[in-house]
Amino acid sequence: MTAGHLNCTVCPSCGAKLAAKDSRPHDAYGFATVRRRRVCDSCGYRVQTVEIPADVADDVFQEDAA
Ligand SMILES: [Zn+2]
């Protein structure tokens, strides 16, 4: 694995590459997002990612607002 390379398509459990099994529009938060379901072919670990617009993310994750 390459240090410093953040990749949400890699299995958190075993480090194998994850394939996206499903990708669908998702608007449960009041704005358009894309939800992806991924399953690790190596260990069976399942993850879901929700991709949200960057401007919305800036409002939601105000980690360095001080
Ligand atoms: Zn895995």
Given this model, what pLDDT does residue 8 score?
58
Rounded distance from Cα 31 to ligand 1 centre (Å): 31
Rounded distance from Cα 19 to ligand 1 centre (Å): 11
Rounded distance from Cα 50 to ligand 1 centre (Å): 19
Contacts of 8 (CB under 8 A, 6+ apart): 47, 49
- Kindly report, residue by residue over 13-63, the tens digit of the pLDDT: 999 988 788 888 888 778 888 888 988 989 999 888 888 888 887 887 776
Rounded distance from Cα 40 to ligand 1 centre (Å): 5
Q: What is the pTM of this model?
A: 0.56
- Kindly report, residue by residue over 3-21, the tens digit of the pLDDT: 444 445 788 899 998 878 8
Given this model, what pLDDT does residue 7 score?
47
| Cβ-contact 26, 35 below 8 angstroms | yes
